[in-house]
Amino acid sequence: MRLLVTGGAGFIGSHFAGAYARNRPVDEVVVLDALTHAGDRGRVPDHEAVTFREGSVTDPDAVATAIEGVDRVVHFAARTHVDRAIADPGAFVETNVRGTQVLLDAARAADIDRLVLLSTDEVYGETLAGAQHEDDPLDPRNPYSATKAAAEHLAGSYAATYGLPVLSVRPSNTYGPRQHAEKFIPTILCHALAEEPIPVYGDGSARRQWLYVDDCVRAIATVLDEGATGETYNIGSGRELSNLELVHTVLERLGRSRDLVEFVPDRQGHDMRYDVDDTKLRQLGWEPSVDMEEGLERTIRWGRERFDE
């Protein structure tokens, strides 16, 4: 079996490519990545089954070459940072929507067995109470989540129109070693270790579920191997924290003062809470295995090596 992982030099994609190559019966894992600001060639797993190809999902020739002879695809390649999406929505439309369309066309031509699209819990929009289920309506409220919802709808249309075997996953906020420095937990670590102010939007009351990356990639592998074609699966963690609670927790573990917290003007259109119900995924046999305490400890160890100079 040959697997294509788009965005496999990114944070979650690289963890997934390595874990799948090590733990599943696969002959080759082809990693396709454009090595933009969030892609790092050094993240690509050093494993005999992994082959790297540099190229963008927006380039039909690069995608056609990478997907040749492939049986399955997991589509991570995307622009993901909400602040960047607010500043430059067009770049997100180009990669997240048109790039997905290019990949879907290539997958049709290659007659693949199945394709898993990585989406996000943000497509549901702000969830002030309760938890979102997979069949709840989508209500994205920022350019990033809107492009991910569009990609999902596009993939669904290819499934209905052409019979393309597509599945989607919607993870919660994922964290862990090797995450790009612009993301929230690496930002906390970088600033705290340097004894610099840690920017926190608004009053820090926005709440998220926090999912450790190893649990996220196991969930995606479970959906790839066991999920029903045409279905969507939420990936939760059961651990919800406000941004301020998270900062305080990391500061306490680092032995740094809470005085480092610096409240800054809130993000435009900031969703105050996301929460997903992942019962459907758990029925496939998956459940998170790394609690927040252990996940943060592993991430902090990585952060000390990465930022504590």
**C-alpha–C-alpha distance, residues 74 and 212, integer Å:** 19
For residue 50, give the 3-state DSSP assignment.
strand
3-state secondary structure of 226: helix
Which of 20, 33, 122, 212 does the annotation list as catalytic?
A: 122
In the numeric block, the tokens 């602040």 are attached to: 83
42: which DSSP letter? G
Catalytic, 121? Answer yes
Q: Which member of 20, 33, 124, 144 is catalytic?
A: 144
Single-letter amino acid code for the residue at 95: T
Q: Is 277 exposed, middle or buried (0-12, 13-18, 19+ CB in 10 A)?
A: middle
Distance CA 205, CA 261 (A): 13
Tokens of 277: 């119900």
Helix (H) or strand (E) holding 3: strand 2-6
The whole-angstrom separation of Cα 144 and Cα 149 is 9
DSSP string, 265-306: PPPTT---B--B--HHHHTTT----S-HHHHHHHHHHHHHHH
Catalytic residue among 121, 152, 215, 275: 121
Rounded CA gap, 186 and 109, in Å?
A: 40
Look up tokens 């892609």; give the residue.
39
Let me know if 297 is a catalytic residue: no
The DSSP output letter for 67 is: H
Radius of gyration of the chain (CA): 19
Decide if 144 is catalytic: yes
Rounded CA gap, 109 and 30, in Å? 17
Q: Which one-letter DSSP state was computed for residue 259?
A: G
Residues classed as catalytic: 121-122, 144
